[in-house]
A = this chain, B = another copy of it.
């Protein structure tokens, strides 16, 4: 994750304690925190950090393609640091928890040209929905 910060700094991103903490909190696999969760964890290390800064930083990271934003059906968006390896998501319909998945095949190939309505199709995102082990119990 320090790579990330270095990379961004070289692109003119001012490096602050707040941004560093947000990036650190997001680090890891299968991390899909809401903005509020990011704020809570960041505040453990940097108590004064504000919600607005967390939102600003997350928005920046998404915009620069370093973090994925995952909208989960009306609940709070979740933020996924695993933006560089393409993948899809498995979502618990009950509690909203998320796992990264790597399905076989290419969904883009399953959309016949006749179905494109003249669109330039850029990507396909697959969301699997189900009930997680915790919620099934």
Contact = CB atoms under 8 A, between A and B. Distances in A.
Interface of A: 69, 71-74, 77, 90, 92-93, 99, 101-105, 107-108, 110-112, 115-133, 136
A120 B130 contact: yes
**Assembly stoichiometry (copies):** 2
Could you tell me the dominant secondary structure of chain A's interface residues?
mixed
Contacts of A110: 103-105, 107, 126
A27 to B, nearest CB: 21
A126 B129 contact: no
Contacts of A132: 117-119
B126 A125 contact: yes
B123 A129 contact: yes
A124 to B, nearest CB: 5
